[in-house]
Amino acid sequence: MLRRRCLKLSFVIVFSMTTGFSLFLHRLEISEETAPLPLEHYCKNLHDKFLAMKQLKSAQNATKFFMEQLLHRTDLRSSCNASGKLFLTRNNTKLGQRITYEVDRKAFKLVDKMVYDMLPETHPWGTSRGLGRCAVVGNGGTLRNSKCGAEINSADFVIRHNLAPMNYSSDVGVKTNLVTVNPSQITESFQGLCHARRPFVEKAASHGDAHLAIAAFSYGPNTEISFRIFYTMRDMRPQQGVLYFHPDYLMTLDRYWRKKGLKCIRLSSGFMLMSAALELCEKVDLYGFWPFALDLFEKSLPNHYYDNIPAKRGVHTMPEEFMLLLEMHSQGVLQLHIGECQTPS
């Protein structure tokens, strides 16, 4: 019997104009079968709604948008505290304490002198002032031929994921301040840094002097590989610092979004850093966040802007995350960029 899972997603957009209040309700039904279904049946509707939303946002009251941003920032800050706990530092971690793992809560790592010496004194960008306008750059295929590079480069702070390739500068830009590294990448592509340290360092160097952010204490096997990354960069490229995500922050963030209705095994790294950016940045622009195989004009897209390797199933729930992003976009909390960027005249 053909297995079918139907995912229903909806969002509501409320906006005010001189004529009063209007309400949009949009519902998507995305079916997954053993033989993939074409996606044209919802892409056209989503395209129309997204364009309508862009027009409506321009008519929204700027004060209302500011208040929505402030509300989300305050809510996240009081619940998760990225400014104080996004990364492990000597300010929030004591010598001799136990670090409890994010996923396996029964496992822990003792903070001995070796671990303590790896930690920065505090967050490298400080916390007293915001980071300005932040661009959080995903790896979605919608970035290909987007011409968003210049717009991304103009941001005050640029966040990227999984050491994504930088040889598409007209589409994705060249500026990076923070880039995540997935420990599984190191095992699969760099022999666990046992014999392939220079290729890894060259890959990291393609992001300039950006800090590398790693979830060293999510799963036990991640820790040793993350330590190898630290020592490799210290020995061969010390100008690029290595930061370890605080497992308590990631766990608290997971709980925060579950209370908001998001159900997943684990948040994607893009969604994690979008959440941190909402706390730390004055304005948040998202690029390359699009989890579907067709774009808004019903054209096929690669899975990533740099390849078409299918995503691994069962860990992240990208469509559900995307709908939350779309809801926040409609509220003015963040700016979601899909398709081509407008080139300055």
Q: Which residues contact 149 (CB under 8 A, 6 or more apart)?
A: 168, 169, 170, 171, 172, 173, 174
Which residues are catalytically annotated? 316
The helix (run of H) or strand (run of E) holding residue 219 is none
The helix (run of H) or strand (run of E) holding residue 15 is strand 4-17
DSSP 55-88: HHHHHS-HHHHHHHHHHHHHHHHHHT-HHHHSB-
DSSP 134: E
Evaluate whether 292 touches 140 at the Cβ level (below 8 Å).
Answer: no
DSSP 318-337: HHHHHHHHHHHHHHTSSEEE
Q: Is 70 exposed, middle or buried (0-12, 13-18, 19+ CB in 10 A)?
A: exposed
343 CB neighbour count, 10 Å cutoff: 9
Q: At what angle do helices 62-79 and 318-331 cross, to 10 degrees?
A: 130
Q: Burial letters for 93-119: b for 16+ Cβ neighbours within 10 Å, e otherwise?
A: beeeeebebbbeeeeebebeeebeebb
State how far the Cα of 166 lies from the Cα of 161, in Å rounded to an integer. Answer: 11
DSSP 267-325: --HHHHHHHHHHHH-SEEEEES---SSB-TTS-B--SBSS--PPPPSSS--HHHHHHHH
Provide the terminal-to-terminal Cα distance of the chain, rounded to the nearest Å: 56
